[in-house]
Structures are given as C-alpha cells and as structure tokens.
Amino acid sequence: MSLLAQTLQLAFRIAIVWAGGFLLAAAVRALLPDQTGVNFPTGQSTLFIPYNRIGFWTCLLAAVTVTALVVIRAMLTDMGLRS
C-alpha cells in the first residue's frame, strides 16, 4: 500500500472516530437529564456535576485518545517498527 493510501486511510479512520464521538456525546447529553448527577463535597460548598456532562466529556476524551493512539502507531510504523 502506498504512503498516500495509508495517509488517506488514517485520516478517514480519525474522521470516523471523531464523528462517532461527537454523535455519541450529543446523544448522551440529550438523553440524560440535567437534574441527576454526582455531588462532590468541597471545603465550603458542594460541587454538583450532572451525568450528561460527564458522558459528554468522556465521549470526547475517548475520541482524543483513539486519535492519539492511531497517530502514534502511524509514527512508529514510519520509523520502521512493525506491529
């Protein structure tokens, strides 16, 4: 497979992961109610974080993680290491 084909395949995989992450994050944010969540006691008050925000940021973090792993794998392959 040529270098251009590998680059295009990598870009396509990253685009699919990001699109899936955004769609999943938007669905989580839309489906989970705002009133349910986790309370974290702090020194003077309590910090309330709704479940829909936790799900949203988890999905985006997963997309970033997969993107980083794919890019690192591609860089290692370019340096001559095979997986």
pLDDT 10s digits, 59-71: 778 778 877 887 7
Q: Is pLDDT at 1 greater than 60 in this prediction?
A: yes
Count of positions (residues) in the chain: 83
Reduce the DSSP state of residue 34 to 3 states and report it.
coil
Q: DSSP character for 47? A: E
Q: What pLDDT is attached to residue 23? A: 85
pTM for this model (two decimals):
0.56
pLDDT tier at 43, thresholds 50, 70, 90: confident
Instruction: Give the pair of three-digit tokens for residue 48.
Output: 């309330």
Q: What pLDDT is attached to residue 11? A: 79
User: CA dihedral in degrees (24, 25, 30, 34; nearest 10)?
Assistant: 140
